[in-house]
Structure 1
Amino acid sequence: MALNDNDRSIAAFAMLAHATVHWFELAIPIFLVVWLEAFDVSVALVGLIVAIGYAPFGLGALPAGLLADRYGPKRLVLVCLAGMSLSFATLAVAPSIYAVAASLLCWGILASIYHPAGLALISTGVEERGTVFAWHGIAGNVGIALGPFATATLLLVTDWRIVAVALAVPGAFATLYGLRARFDPTAAVADDDGTAAGASNDSLSPTEFVSNSRSLFAGPFLLVFAVVTVVGLYYRGVLTYLPELLNGLPAMAGIEPPAALEELSLGDYFYVALLVAGMAGQYVAGKLTSRVPVARGLVVVFVGLAVLAVAFVPVSAMGLAPVLLYCTVLGFALFAIEPFYQEAVAVYTPPDGRGLSYGYTYLGMFGLGSLSIALGGFLLDHATIAALFATLAAIALLGAAIALKLLVGPEPGSESASTESTTAADD
């Protein structure tokens, strides 16, 4: 079915905003390599600084969702876009790594607004939600790939401070577009008399919030939340340090790049290839979610990620082609897990708790998951690359074990699952 005018308007705004969020997010690991030299600091310190920026990206999801309910999702998305752009622009005047930390902290707080507000806007304003959610995800992947690609390319020709300002320009454009966009944010949930349904402020009360949260975690969502947190730990641990690690590989030093390129840039483009391969992973896994039990899919992908983590050190000693192939397979697997955990949230949570579930999902993915950034920096500074990837393999196996518990547990929606959830809540 074709999208109506309101659906198209919301889709365009949300897709542009989603791409912008990830444009900024995945540019940061490219800057990490530059900041190491610009401020002459340790990997552990820069890793901690980046973690400070990424942590509120997830930790702010719950309050952001509540604010979106109170003030409206479009207004919150506009604040997010304008704030992220301004935060990135302030990097240009950062006199120290600690000033960089302050800018990244502001960015993380403002970026945390998008996912709960953007998803709320689509869910209440769009009639053809499935179609728009699909395009919305693709737009996010475009931002994920283009952010580091643009950053790496611009760093070849100009100073990193100028690059930071340049990266803020699309965010400013998205903000101006959003100010001009016209749509009904509650068109899909309007009552017959034209008033919006589901916009009650009752859900903002502390008592309701605590009660709903307790009910949610009394059931299988506790395991889903653990799965998503493990995904976040692996995701952040790999993507944050991979540009630096790739640039230091013998395979990268064994070729003669064109004079216009520096050795730094080659690993960055391999990193972009990984992110592009992730788009294929998301597409294929998205198709499989309707054919494979979600818990089984999670187990398989987690085991694959564990194997890939163990394989990094031996593959890194090989030639350029094996490293590129490795990056492609890793990117495919790393992003293939996303449709499975998103489907798990829908399968293992009640419809009336879905909004709260998404808030907790991003808290686990982007908030608690950022802990691996600081851990990764510590391991690279005080141990070895092998220790980092052994830790990532252990994290992936932990995720497989949790997903296996979901697989062997009661079927979603079954009487035993409902009884278990009710009993736990009563306790």
Structure 2
Amino acid sequence: MESSHSRRVIVFVNAAHAIDHMFMLIFPTAVLSMSAAFGRSYGELLALSVGGFVAFGAASIPAGWLGDLWSRRNMLAVFFFGIGAAAILAGCSNSVAMLAVSLTLIGLFAAIYHPVGGALLASHAAKLGREIGFNGVWGNLGIAFAALITAGLAQYFGWRAAFILPGAAAMLFGAAFLLLVPDAPAPVRASARQQAAVPRRIAMRAFMVLAVATVTGGVVFNAATVSLPKLFDERLLGLTQSSLGVGALVCAVYIAGAVAQLIIGKLVDRFSLKAIFVPLSALQAPCLFIAAKAGDWGLIAGAAGLMFAIFGQVTVNDAMIVRYTAEAWRSRAYALRYFLSFSASACAVPLVAYLHEIGAASGGGFVMLFQVLAVFGLGIFLSSLFFPHRPNEVQAADAADAPGDASPRPARA
């Protein structure tokens, strides 16, 4: 059973996940309304976010280290206040340079969440797969409502409000978190006993596959989520006539990802990871090929299938870390995973900008981009075939959920 302290921790971790992904995707939607203010094209403005995505990956390593050695709870508080202040600064930007610095700071503070929040969730969850699934839903809703909220605020109050109002809300969450969640040790579970039972060669094989899937998946994830508002804006003119309408359609497609994470989270508690990993990864390349050329409802269906596969894959990858990593090292393990993922995903932003400019010049728009992403999707599927199959891992994971005293040392909340 979860204590009231653990429940509060999980609530704030889930809220932080929504804030993290929402703030990283405010700019890709707000940029549709910012060209006139800065006198730059879509591709030129979008390139300003590269620093933020680089920081999103690079800063995860020190964030995970501080979470393990200092305090995961305090690091999450830094996340709330830092990302809120950075967003407010972005909303106050009057120059391209100031905007680029602000976006980089958003990425810097956003990097704290995944290594710290993932470890906090694993330490306080009574049912691992279920909580990872629900946590993924919150992150996906952050992505979904980034498009809807940003488009709405930009349309009715201007693009600056799209940064400033969410920034102020994040700082209020930080204040509530400090008041309601003390810096107490997390419950000690028997996961360390189970992780020690995993043969070294099996663990190394799992992490090698995870590394490949993380790098290729990071490019697909970021390129797809960054480009979707513009893709819908270009191809769905018959279905929507405003940026708010585009945001609503993007939000609806991301809901499919939320459904995926609920479903996959439950499956993680019942089946081996490989049994879920292989069919889920097989879905990505076909959906990317559909998105490359489809329009109207065909595009929406392809995008919904793609988001189901992408976000379901995130849930599987997070479960891999917990199944193969000891508690005392978990923040650093998450940090390494997200360092690889977000460092690779930083390459997606210039890739989107560059291939869109080429496509726009030839009348193809995003066709070439999504064909390239389909190749990455095929790489994810091929890597899944080499993931170790351990039929007994579900029973072992169930045993690890029971309270115990085998952890090397309690992790700080």
Of 232-241 and 306-315, more deviation after overlay is shown by 306-315
- Are the structure 2 counterparts of residues 321 and 159 from structure 1 closer, same or farther at C-alpha, using a change threshold of 3 Å? same
Deviation at 1:293, TM superposition (A): 4.0
Q: Are 1:246 and 2:232 matched, yes or no? A: yes
- Are the structure 2 counterparts of residues 177 and 305 from structure 1 closer, same or farther at C-alpha, using a change threshold of 3 Å? same
1:140-195 Cα distance to aligned partner (Å, 9 max, x none)? 233232222211111221210122111212202101101211435314139xxxxx
Give, in whole Å, the separation in 2 of the partners of 1:10 and 1:352: 18
Give, in whole Å, the separation in 2 of the partners of 1:147 and 1:14: 18
1:294-339 Cα distance to aligned partner (Å, 9 max, x none)? 23533323332111111124322xxx43333333323222212222
Deviation at 1:394, TM superposition (A): 0.5
Runs of 4 or more above 6 Å deviation: 214-217, 409-413
Partner of 1:207: none
1:224-258 Cα distance to aligned partner (Å, 9 max, x none)? 11111211110111110110111111x41x35x6x
Of 140-149 and 273-282, more deviation after overlay is shown by 140-149
**1:158-173 matched pairs, under 5 angstroms:** 158-173=157-172
Deviation at 1:112, TM superposition (A): 0.8
Of the three residues 344, 369, 380, the one matched with 1:388 is 369
SS of equivalent residue, structure 1 residue 360: helix
Give, in whole Å, the separation in 2 of the partners of 1:149 and 1:36: 19
Deviation at 1:129, TM superposition (A): 5.8
**1:409-424 matched pairs, under 5 angstroms:** none
**Which amino acid counterpart does residue 280 of structure 1 have in structure 2?**
V
Partner of 2:404: none
**Which amino acid counterpart does residue 221 of structure 2 have in structure 1?**
Y
Q: Are 1:337 and 2:313 matched, yes or no? A: yes
Give, in whole Å, the separation in 1 of the partners of 2:302 and 2:233: 15
SS of equivalent residue, structure 1 residue 341: helix
Of 326-335 and 215-224, more deviation after overlay is shown by 215-224
- Are the structure 2 counterparts of residues 395 and 135 from structure 1 closer, same or farther at C-alpha, using a change threshold of 3 Å? closer
Partner of 2:112: 113
Partner of 2:383: 402
SS of equivalent residue, structure 2 residue 182: coil
1:338-372 Cα distance to aligned partner (Å, 9 max, x none)? 22222333445566654432111111222222211
Q: Are 1:358 and 2:334 matched, yes or no? A: yes
**Which amino acid counterpart does residue 56 of structure 2 have in structure 1?**
F
Give, in whole Å, the separation in 1 of the partners of 2:291 and 2:74: 44
Of 36-45 and 365-374, more deviation after overlay is shown by 36-45
SS of equivalent residue, structure 2 residue 34: helix
* Structure 2 spans left out of the alignment, 5+ residues: 193-199, 394-413
Q: How large is the RMSD of aligned CA atoms in angstroms?
A: 2.9
Aligned residues: 379
Partner of 1:288: 267
Partner of 2:49: 50
SS of equivalent residue, structure 2 residue 387: helix
* Structure 1 spans left out of the alignment, 5+ residues: 191-197, 199-213, 414-427
SS of equivalent residue, structure 2 residue 40: coil
Q: Are 1:128 and 2:126 matched, yes or no? A: yes
8 Å Cα contact 1:226-1:364 kept in structure 2: no
8 Å Cα contact 2:115-2:333 kept in structure 1: no
**Which amino acid counterpart does residue 126 of structure 2 have in structure 1?**
E
Partner of 2:221: 235
Partner of 2:299: 323
Deviation at 1:38, TM superposition (A): 3.1
8 Å Cα contact 1:295-1:344 kept in structure 2: no
8 Å Cα contact 2:68-2:332 kept in structure 1: no
Give, in whole Å, the separation in 1 of the partners of 2:302 and 2:205: 38
- Are the structure 2 counterparts of residues 22 and 366 from structure 1 closer, same or farther at C-alpha, using a change threshold of 3 Å? same
- Are the structure 2 counterparts of residues 75 and 348 from structure 1 closer, same or farther at C-alpha, using a change threshold of 3 Å? closer
**Which amino acid counterpart does residue 86 of structure 2 have in structure 1?**
S
- Are the structure 2 counterparts of residues 114 and 304 from structure 1 closer, same or farther at C-alpha, using a change threshold of 3 Å? same
Partner of 1:23: 22
Give, in whole Å, the separation in 2 of the partners of 1:180 and 1:15: 17
Of the three residues 272, 281, 284, the one matched with 1:305 is 284
Give, in whole Å, the separation in 1 of the partners of 2:115 and 2:265: 21
Partner of 1:144: 143
SS of equivalent residue, structure 1 residue 188: coil
Of 128-137 and 392-401, more deviation after overlay is shown by 128-137
| Structure-1-length-normalised TM-score | 0.80
8 Å Cα contact 1:278-1:331 kept in structure 2: yes
8 Å Cα contact 2:14-2:135 kept in structure 1: yes
Q: Are 1:223 and 2:209 matched, yes or no? A: yes
- Are the structure 2 counterparts of residues 349 and 219 from structure 1 closer, same or farther at C-alpha, using a change threshold of 3 Å? farther
| Structure-2-length-normalised TM-score | 0.82
8 Å Cα contact 1:9-1:183 kept in structure 2: no
8 Å Cα contact 2:222-2:348 kept in structure 1: yes
SS of equivalent residue, structure 1 residue 379: helix
**Which amino acid counterpart does residue 83 of structure 1 have in structure 2?**
G
- Are the structure 2 counterparts of residues 155 and 42 from structure 1 closer, same or farther at C-alpha, using a change threshold of 3 Å? closer
Deviation at 1:32, TM superposition (A): 2.8
8 Å Cα contact 1:216-1:349 kept in structure 2: no
- Are the structure 2 counterparts of residues 390 and 237 from structure 1 closer, same or farther at C-alpha, using a change threshold of 3 Å? same
